[in-house]
Amino acid sequence: MKLDKKTSEEIKILQEGGHILALIRDQLAQMATLGVTGLELDAQAQKMIKEAGGKPSFLGYHGFPNALCVSINETVVHGIPNKQAFQEGDLVGLDIGMEYKGLYTDTATTVAIGKVSEKIQKLLEVTKNSLALGIDQAQVGNDIAQIGQAIEKYVRPFGFGIVKDLAGHGVGRAVHEEPFVPNYNPGQKIAKIPSGLVIAIEPMLILGGSDEVLTGSDNWAVNAADGTQTAHFEHTIAITEDGPLILTI
C-alpha cells in the first residue's frame, strides 16, 4: 500500500480549503430546516463553492449528479438530493467535498429536523464523539487500525450498528486515496501512520444496531438494512509530528 504524504505547503492549502468547506457545511446545516429540500441545499452548495473559488468534487464523480450528498433517515450516505421536503423528526446527513487550488477536502454532518427522541439525540452524540476518538488515534507511528478500534470500542456499548461496508479514506490529491480507514476493529494491522498523511475519518452509525447496509434502487443511496435512522460525521485530518490537525473546521 502506497501512502501519499503531503508537503507542509500542501497541508496549508488543504487547511485553507478545509476551513472554507467547513463554513459552507455549517451554513448548509443551518439551512436544513422543516420544509426545505435537498435540491435547495444542493443549489446553495454549488453557489457557495463557486463563490469561494473552489469546485464541487462530488459533482460528476463516477456520474454522481450533485455537489452535495443529502442522506435522509435510513440512508447512511450517497443520497441524491431531491424535492422531498424535510419533515419533523428527520435526520439529514450532509456530505460535501471541494477541490480548492488543486487539492481536495471532504466533510459531513448530520442534522436533526425539529424535535427528535432522546435515543436519536444519543445516536448523534455518540457518532460525533466517536469521530473525535478516532481523530485522537491519528498519530504518527500508530496503525490505521487503531482509529477503527477506538471507534468500535466506544460505540458498541450503546448498541448502535457500525457500517463496515464503507469507511474513511485518504484524501488530498484526489477525492479518494489509500488507505481504507475502517470505523471498526479490523482484527489486523493496516499500515503505520506517517507524518504528512491526510485522511478523512467518517463514522457511520445505525440506530437499530445492525451493521448491514443495502444499496438503493438508484444505485447510489446506501441504506440501513434494518430501516432505522442513521448518523454520519466526517472531518479531513492531516497527521503531523505535533498530532492530528483537523482541516475541516
Residue 165 domain-assigned?
Answer: yes
pLDDT band at 161 (very low <50, low <70, confident <90, very high): very high
Task: Give yes or no for a contact between 33 and 113, defined as CB atoms under 8 angstroms apart.
Answer: yes
The domain total for the chain is 1
Is the link from the previous residue into 179 a cis peptide, with omega within 30 of 0? Answer: yes
Grid coordinates representing 191? 499500515
Over the stretch 223-232, which tens digit does the pLDDT of each residue have? 999 999 999 9
| Cα–Cα distance measured from residue 126 to residue 231, given in angstroms and rounded to the nearest whole number | 9
For residue 132, give the amino acid letter: A
Residue 173 domain-assigned?
Answer: yes
| Cα–Cα distance measured from residue 59 to residue 57, given in angstroms and rounded to the nearest whole number | 6
Which phi and psi (to 5°) does residue 118 adopt?
-60, -35
Residue 77 domain-assigned?
Answer: yes
Over the stretch 169-213, which tens digit does the pLDDT of each residue have? 999 999 999 999 999 999 999 999 999 999 999 999 999 999 999
| Residue-range definition of the domain harbouring residue 106 | 8-246
We report the CATH number of the domain holding residue 105 as 3.90.230.10
Collapse the DSSP code of 197 into the 3-class scheme (helix H, G, I; strand E, B; otherwise coil) and give the result.
strand
Residue 137 domain-assigned?
Answer: yes
Q: Taking the model in full, what pTM does it have?
A: 0.97
Residue 2 domain-assigned?
Answer: no
| Cα–Cα distance measured from residue 165 to residue 169, given in angstroms and rounded to the nearest whole number | 13
Other Cβ atoms less than 10 A from the Cβ of 18: the count is 29
Grid coordinates representing 187? 482484527
Over the stretch 68-120, which tens digit does the pLDDT of each residue have? 999 999 999 999 999 999 999 999 999 999 999 999 999 999 999 999 999 99
pLDDT of residue 2: 87
Residue 126 domain-assigned?
Answer: yes
Statement: residue 1 has pLDDT above 90 = no
Which phi and psi (to 5°) does residue 244 adopt?
-70, 135
Residue 3 domain-assigned?
Answer: no
